[in-house]
């Protein structure tokens, strides 16, 4: 079988499709393009950049990404119907490396309660879907949705039909995160042994993390012969999310003697990419998150610190620099020049163009006026903001707060709009945050429902920057925004204003 001789694991990133389906994670075209470029630099094999037929916005993003990205294969999802498949083909047409990914559900539960289709009708739809996709491009992936809860004999029948129709990759999704590793691994063994022509296709794992087993399940599939993993940066995705790209890639790399396979991922780009996705989606990375969390490489207990001082291998199985965490004791300050700043930015794994560097340097100087010592985490926050630098139409010009235990708080806010308006307003509230949010709503004309407010310190010390992340519900949708400042009330104002800007930009792009 080819699997023994071919030990490369293909990394299929679906941050821009399955990842974007996570509540509050929807992204604009510019944001998706920024992430697509970062994924390409990370050297992923396939970027599933959207679902062309899902919305005009998805179609446009796919089209732009397909025409700009040079390297990774660009893929669009499609249901097994001509409209979806034609839209997918059209959206990715500009790229010479393209893939259409067709899917249809196969479990009894889905057939009965969702599709109202017979098994025969599903086999026919899958066969015809793949056949039609093949008329547009050679590279066609097929997914039997909810495969892990599908009757095995029927699964073999569907896979046989789609291999016969020309599918080149067969993806076996654990759509609801129900499988456990031994069982999921066995399923791959069974399919590879029993499907006709299995030696001519790549089998792929696609796992959800409902039971926290997505990485373990994906590894079990690889051990059983799968050679593609579908995953997302930071594991974002529907419900509990998808397999985390950084975790699966570092598991394969760290245990290379155990697994006889490898990926082509540039692991040094994992951390910057993870921060970029977190900043764009507003999905905060938990401190204890494997591989990219703040605590992943810090050692608190005395006995651990002692061991680390003797030799890092006592308590560290990966080197922070291998995932792109280039911490140093070097602290920058207001006398640090452009050169020192650029050196640090490069060491931290970011590559900025001149425009982004200029913007980041201005922010660095502003921060250095407010804060004596600038740490790596401060620089990361600045760079990621200027990298994702999608701002406006509203901008915060001024903010004054007064508050007292006995009477509450009031906020005076001045905003500009890129159509030339300058607006000022003051509002009262129980505390400073409520008064700021009220003033912003009054000025911009929105009525929003705050559902979550988180704050954390970017670095150390009383003058550390505070990063606020807010989640807001508007018009039945969740939006996230974040803001960073040495003044935590200003961080809150910036986060809320980011949400308002996201909503405004979405409305404007719809009008166009
Ligand atoms: O989870 C799932 O089943 C999917 C398919 C569309 C591949 O995302
Ligand atoms: Zn999925």
- What is the predicted pLDDT for the residue at 38? 96
Q: Tell me which of 114-128, 307-321, 462-476 is least confident.
A: 307-321
- Domain stop point among 216, 250, 281: 281
Residue 291: which pLDDT band, with cuts at 50, 70 and 90? very high
- Domain stop point among 247, 281, 315: 281
CA of 206 to the centre of ligand 1 (A): 7
Q: Is residue 389 part of a domain?
A: no
Neighbours of 337 (CB within 10 A): 10
| Section 344-362 average pLDDT | 84
> Count H helices, E strands: the chain?
17, 14
Considering the domain architecture, whether residues 167 and 38 belong to the same structural domain is answered as yes
The answer on pLDDT for 308 being more than 80 is no
Triad 441, 480, 505: Cα angle to 5°: 65
- What is the predicted pLDDT for the residue at 3? 44
Considering the domain architecture, whether residues 150 and 57 belong to the same structural domain is answered as yes
- Return d(Cα 485, Cα 138) in angstroms, integer: 50
Q: Is residue 92 part of a domain?
A: yes
CA of 106 to the centre of ligand 1 (A): 12
CA of 158 to the centre of ligand 1 (A): 16
Q: Of the bound ligands, which one is closest to the alpha carbon of residue 54?
A: 1
Considering the domain architecture, whether residues 377 and 491 belong to the same structural domain is answered as no
| Section 88-117 average pLDDT | 97
- For 225, the token pair is 């012969």
Pairing of strands 98-105, 140-145: parallel
- What is the predicted pLDDT for the residue at 325? 86
Considering the domain architecture, whether residues 69 and 117 belong to the same structural domain is answered as yes
Q: Is residue 4 part of a domain?
A: no
- Return d(Cα 457, Cα 488) in angstroms, integer: 9
Q: Tell me which of 145-154, 331-340, 375-384, 405-414 is least confident.
A: 375-384
Q: Is residue 291 part of a domain?
A: no
Residue 379: which pLDDT band, with cuts at 50, 70 and 90? confident
- Return d(Cα 384, Cα 377) in angstroms, integer: 10
The answer on pLDDT for 512 being more than 70 is no
Considering the domain architecture, whether residues 76 and 183 belong to the same structural domain is answered as yes
Instruction: Name the residue at shortest CA distance from atom 2 of ligand 1.
Output: 175
Pairing of strands 466-474, 449-457: antiparallel
Considering the domain architecture, whether residues 106 and 23 belong to the same structural domain is answered as yes
CA of 360 to the centre of ligand 1 (A): 38
CA of 102 to the centre of ligand 1 (A): 10
Which residue out of 106, 175, 228, 235 has the highest number of ligand 1 atoms within 8 Å of its CB and is therefore the one to mutate? 175
The answer on pLDDT for 302 being more than 70 is no
Q: Tell me which of 71-85, 209-223, 359-373, 380-394 is least confident.
A: 380-394
Q: Where is mean pLDDT largest: 5-14, 266-275, 457-466?
A: 266-275
Residue 371: which pLDDT band, with cuts at 50, 70 and 90? confident
- What is the predicted pLDDT for the residue at 128? 98
Q: Of the bound ligands, which one is closest to the alpha carbon of residue 78?
A: 1
- For 60, the token pair is 């446009």
Instruction: Collect residues with CB below 5 Å from ion ligand 2.
Output: 18
Neighbours of 177 (CB within 10 A): 23
| Section 223-243 average pLDDT | 97
Which residue out of 50, 99, 110, 206 has the highest number of ligand 1 atoms within 8 Å of its CB and is therefore the one to mutate? 206
- Return d(Cα 371, Cα 399) in angstroms, integer: 19
Residue 301: which pLDDT band, with cuts at 50, 70 and 90? low
Considering the domain architecture, whether residues 205 and 99 belong to the same structural domain is answered as yes
- Return d(Cα 282, Cα 468) in angstroms, integer: 10
| Section 62-70 average pLDDT | 98
The answer on pLDDT for 77 being more than 60 is yes
Domain of 403 in residue numbering reads as 394-511
Query: For residues 24 and 469, is the Cβ–Cβ distance under 8 A?
Result: no
- For 47, the token pair is 């970027």
Query: For residues 214 and 244, is the Cβ–Cβ distance under 8 A?
Result: yes
Higher-pLDDT residue of 235, 506: 235
- What is the predicted pLDDT for the residue at 4? 44
Q: Is residue 196 part of a domain?
A: yes
Residue 6: which pLDDT band, with cuts at 50, 70 and 90? low
Residues 6 or more apart from 11 whose CB is under 8 A from it?
44, 45, 46, 228, 229, 231, 245, 249, 263, 264, 265
CB under 6 Å to ligand 1: residues? Answer: 18, 103, 143, 145, 171, 173, 175, 206, 208
End-to-end Cα distance, the chain: 52
Q: What is the DSSP letter of 15?
A: T
Our count of domains for the chain comes to 4
Give the position, in ligand 1's atom list, of the atom nearest the Cα of 103.
Answer: 6
- What is the predicted pLDDT for the residue at 247? 98
Q: Is residue 289 part of a domain?
A: no
- What is the predicted pLDDT for the residue at 346? 84
Q: Tell me which of 127-141, 378-392, 401-415, 485-499 is least confident.
A: 378-392
Which residue out of 53, 103, 179, 184 has the highest number of ligand 1 atoms within 8 Å of its CB and is therefore the one to mutate? 103
**HEC profile of 115-136:** HCCCHHHHHHHHHHHHHHHHHH
- Return d(Cα 508, Cα 505) in angstroms, integer: 5
How would you classify residue 225: left for phi > 0, otherwise alpha for psi between -120 and 50, otherwise beta? left
Q: Is residue 407 part of a domain?
A: yes
H helix intervals, 371-482? 376-387, 432-444
- Domain stop point among 307, 323, 339: 323
The answer on pLDDT for 391 being more than 90 is no
Which residue out of 78, 102, 173 has the highest number of ligand 1 atoms within 8 Å of its CB and is therefore the one to mutate? 173
Considering the domain architecture, whether residues 121 and 267 belong to the same structural domain is answered as yes
CA of 436 to the centre of ligand 1 (A): 41
Tens of pLDDT, residues 151-188: 999 999 999 999 999 999 999 999 999 999 999 999 99
Residue 300: which pLDDT band, with cuts at 50, 70 and 90? low
CA of 176 to the centre of ligand 1 (A): 9
Q: Tell me which of 125-134, 361-370, 460-469 is least confident.
A: 460-469
Q: Where is mean pLDDT largest: 199-208, 271-280, 286-295, 314-323?
A: 199-208
Q: Tell me which of 77-91, 129-143, 279-293 is least confident.
A: 279-293
Considering the domain architecture, whether residues 313 and 348 belong to the same structural domain is answered as no
**Cα→Cα distances 5→74, 261, 376, 415, Å:** 26, 10, 43, 62
The answer on pLDDT for 429 being more than 80 is yes
Give the position, in ligand 1's atom list, of the atom nearest the Cα of 242.
Answer: 1
Considering the domain architecture, whether residues 76 and 194 belong to the same structural domain is answered as yes
CA of 361 to the centre of ligand 1 (A): 42
Q: How crowded is the C-beta side of 216, counted as CA atoms within 13 Å?
A: 12
> Of 493, 330, 512, 292, nearest to 412 (Cα)?
493
- What is the predicted pLDDT for the residue at 387? 57
- What is the predicted pLDDT for the residue at 1? 38
Q: Is residue 443 part of a domain?
A: yes
How high is the mean pLDDT of the chain? 91
Give the position, in ligand 1's atom list, of the atom nearest the Cα of 171.
Answer: 7
CA of 427 to the centre of ligand 1 (A): 47
Higher-pLDDT residue of 304, 24: 24
Give the position, in ligand 1's atom list, of the atom nearest the Cα of 238.
Answer: 1
Give the position, in ligand 1's atom list, of the atom nearest the Cα of 208.
Answer: 1
Considering the domain architecture, whether residues 144 and 261 belong to the same structural domain is answered as yes
Give the position, in ligand 1's atom list, of the atom nearest the Cα of 147.
Answer: 3
> Of 65, 66, 76, 78, nearest to 35 (Cα)?
65
Radius of gyration of the chain (CA): 24
- Return d(Cα 134, Cα 140) in angstroms, integer: 7
Give the position, in ligand 1's atom list, of the atom nearest the Cα of 77.
Answer: 6
Considering the domain architecture, whether residues 268 and 143 belong to the same structural domain is answered as yes
How would you classify residue 350: left for phi > 0, otherwise alpha for psi between -120 and 50, otherwise beta? beta
The answer on pLDDT for 5 being more than 50 is no
Instruction: Name the residue at shortest CA distance from atom 1 of ligand 1.
Output: 175
Q: Tell me which of 15-19, 253-257, 478-482, 491-495 is least confident.
A: 478-482
């Amino acid at each position: 079988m080819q699997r023994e001789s071919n030990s490369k694991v293909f990394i299929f990133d679906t941050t821009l499709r399955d990842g974007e389906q996570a509540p509050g994670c929807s992204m604009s075209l510019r944001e998706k393009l920024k992430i697509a470029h970062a994924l390409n630099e990370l050297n992923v094999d396939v970027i599933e950049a959207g679902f062309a037929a899902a919305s005009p916005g998805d179609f446009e993003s796919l089209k732009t990404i397909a025409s700009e990205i040079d390297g990774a294969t660009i893929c669009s999802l499609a249901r097994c119907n001509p409209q979806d498949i034609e839209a997918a083909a059209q959206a990715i047409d500009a790229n010479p490396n393209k893939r259409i990914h067709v899917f249809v559900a196969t479990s009894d539960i889905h057939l009965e309660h969702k599709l109202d289709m017979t098994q025969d009708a599903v086999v026919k739809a899958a066969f015809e879907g793949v056949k039609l996709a093949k008329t547009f491009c050679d590279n066609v992936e097929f997914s039997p949705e909810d495969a892990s809860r599908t009757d095995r004999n029927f699964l073999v029948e569907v896979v046989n039909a789609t291999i016969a129709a020309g599918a080149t990759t067969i993806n076996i999704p654990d759509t609801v995160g129900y499988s456990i590793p031994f069982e999921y691994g066995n399923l791959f063994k069974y399919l590879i042994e029993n499907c006709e022509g299995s030696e001519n296709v790549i089998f792929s794992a696609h796992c959800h993390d409902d039971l926290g087993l997505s990485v373990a399940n994906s590894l079990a599939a690889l051990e059983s012969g799968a050679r593609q993993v579908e995953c997302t940066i930071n594991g974002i995705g529907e419900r509990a999310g998808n397999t985390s790209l950084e975790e699966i890639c570092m598991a394969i790399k760290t245990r290379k003697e155990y697994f006889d396979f490898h990926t082509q991922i540039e692991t040094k780009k994992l951390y910057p990419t993870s921060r970029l996705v977190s900043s764009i989606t507003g999905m905060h990375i938990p401190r204890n998150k494997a591989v990219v969390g703040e605590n992943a490489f810090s050692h608190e207990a005395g006995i651990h610190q002692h061991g680390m001082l003797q030799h890092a291998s006592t308590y560290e199985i990966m080197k922070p620099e291998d995932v792109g965490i280039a911490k140093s004791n070097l602290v920058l300050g207001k006398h640090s020049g452009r050169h020192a700043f650029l050196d640090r930015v490069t060491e931290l794994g970011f590559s900025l163009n001149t425009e982004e560097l200029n913007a980041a340097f201005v922010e660095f100087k502003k921060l250095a006026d407010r804060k004596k010592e600038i740490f790596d985490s401060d620089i990361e926050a600045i760079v990621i903001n200027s990298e994702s630098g999608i701002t406006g139409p509203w901008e915060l010009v001024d903010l004054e707060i007064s508050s007292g235990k006995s009477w509450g708080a009031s906020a005076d806010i001045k905003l500009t709009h890129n159509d030339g308006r300058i607006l000022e307003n003051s509002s009262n509230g129980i505390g400073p945050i409520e008064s700021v949010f009220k003033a912003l709503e009054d000025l911009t004309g929105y009525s929003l429902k705050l559902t979550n407010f988180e704050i954390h310190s970017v670095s150390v010390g009383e003058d550390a920057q505070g990063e606020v992340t807010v989640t807001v519900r508007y018009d039945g949708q969740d939006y996230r925004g974040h803001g960073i400042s040495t003044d935590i009330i200003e961080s809150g104002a910036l986060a809320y204003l980011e949400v308002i800007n996201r909503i405004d930009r979405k409305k404007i792009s719809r009008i166009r």
